[in-house]
A and B are shown apart, each in its own frame.
Chain A
């Protein structure tokens, strides 16, 4: 025998399930997805329109820094190549600058350290909702792109990373507005020390007007491209490919 309580519970669960699957079905329909995409494209265009290209993300004082800066994403790349580089204190590590550039570069950490550096205390905003403030020192990306002689055909900069999720390499991409922004740096130091492994040693991207998943860690390569449609899943980044996170993460 089924008790009344069980019956009511089952009916409730059934109705709830129908409602839930109904909502998710509506959401999954191509026309709804197109509408949402349209709204999100509007957000990017509107934000670009009202924000000066060179407008700076807020910078903070040393007193504003988070006591503990949360580690997110991978805390250490699993590849044996990375382990070897780490064991050699990144002496054999090279940043490959390639793609649509006149002079492909292969830069050691020492080369990068000798380039002009920018230090900034900025806020890192995770897409999940938490924020942490830290100090970053690194070379402005535009100096590297200028040294490599960026082609006029280049529209995006892709960052190839040493870490992976389940065998899928992490990567990210930004447009040239952000690539040439004064606060966009390839950071090799954090809070006054050489970058630690959990925070992306030896080099990570800081693109301060976007969310945390754009701040690629363990950067191994910088590639100038015309389009990222043919790279990995084609959406311009690891999370964009696997979870439909928006490529434009200014919001």
Chain B
């Protein structure tokens, strides 16, 4: 985001510089890698659509989540689900339909190749972005919530505005609002590190290299559950994120993430 001090009192309708180049580059590399990771990850999950807690877990053990034909079971709850979840094609159960997966047919070996190759695209630019965010103050300046923003009254006000689809206008649109900040921080600080570290702990060699991290996760079956939960959290974020881009004006929003130039929304006539 641009520094308001360098750009005094911009108002609605002005074109401003919004996203720094590293943010834009990382956003698109990350978008590509996260999509491939989610799609190939769903194919890998299809090979054994059961999740467990603890050090081990296989068919005879007690799972906490199963995806079956037309339903998901979470603990004692069985929830009917429509396609593309829990579909049966030529007698084979697909927890996630092939229309969602890479490759688009049952291919565990192929999905693993995609997953582990694109993991590099997730991790290497992610680490560079993390270092840049810390060093250049992106995290502190743009993403970290301020104490005033965390007051319940402010949060409630923001939630009401979001529910009414009243987005910030004019100079207020230069900054992320508190719900955006919390969502981005959850992705950057919890979900992305969580999905990477739990994913590493699914590797038997990395278990030998970092046994303390495996213990911290509560064992390999738990790491696999954590990996899945973080991935679903990222998928949920992406759905909301895309919806918000559509509602906030997709052309202006996508342009600002490509060129960095953003037209500040005009103030509403109250």
Pick from A19, A38, A58, A70: contact of B58, CB under 8 Å: A70
Number of A-B contacts (CB under 8 A): 140
Report how far A243 CA is from B110 CA in the complex, Å. 8
Check if B108 is an interface residue, CB within 8 A of chain A. yes
Question: Is the beta-carbon distance between A16 and B99 smaller than 8 angstroms?
Answer: yes
A165 to chain B, nearest CB (A): 15
Determine if B167 is an interface residue (Cβ-Cβ < 8 Å).
no
Chain B binding surface SS class: helix
B113 touches which of A40, A52, A66, A131 (Cβ 8 Å): A40
Residue A43 CB within 8 A of the other chain = yes
B160 in the interface (beta carbon within 8 A) = no
Q: Is A39 an interface residue (CB 8 A)?
A: yes
Q: Which residues of A contact B56 (CB under 8 A)?
A: 64, 66, 123, 131-133
Which residues from chain A contact B206 at a C-beta distance below 8 Å? 47, 51, 250-251
Q: Mark A231-251, 1 if CB is under 8 A from B, else 0.
A: 000000001000111100011
Contact of A129 among B47, B109, B113, B214 (CB under 8 A): B47
B16 part of interface (Cβ distance < 8 Å): no
Task: Decide yes or no: A38 and B113 within 8 Å by CB, A60-B55, A131-B57, A209-B205 being known contacts.
Answer: no
Which residues of the partner chain A approach B119 to less than 8 Å between Cβ atoms? 39, 43
Contact between chains at B208 and A55 (CB < 8 Å):
yes
**CB–CB B114/A27 < 8 A:** yes
B side interface size, CB within 8 A: 42
| B98 within 8 A of partner (CB) | yes
Using CB atoms, name the residue of chain A closest to B113: A36
Pair A133/B120 contact, Cβ less than 8 Å: no
Query: Interface centre among A39, A51, A131, A245, by most B CB within 10 Å?
Result: A131
Q: Are the CB atoms of B208 and A51 closer together than 8 Å?
A: yes
B178 interface residue per 8 A CB criterion: no
A66 touching B203, Cβ below 8 Å: no
Contact call B205/A251, Cβ cutoff below 8 A: yes
Within 8 A of B (CB), among A1-57: 16, 19-21, 23-24, 27, 35-40, 42-43, 47, 50-52, 55-57
Minimum C-beta distance from B95 to chain A (A): 11
| Interface set, chain B 63-117, CB cutoff 8 A to A | 98-99, 102-105, 108-110, 112-114, 116-117
Which of A24, A129, A208, A245 has the most C-beta atoms of chain B within 10 angstroms of its own C-beta? A129
Contacts of A133 in B (CB 8 A): 55-56
Q: Which of B5-59 contact A (CB under 8 A)?
A: 44-45, 47-48, 50, 55-59
Known: A39-B117, A66-B61. A250 touches B112 (CB 8 A): no
Interface string of B201-226 (1 = CB under 8 A from A): 01111111101001000001100100
Known A-B contacts: A16-B99, A23-B102, A133-B56. Give 5 more (CB < 8 A).
A36-B117, A66-B61, A123-B204, A127-B112, A251-B206
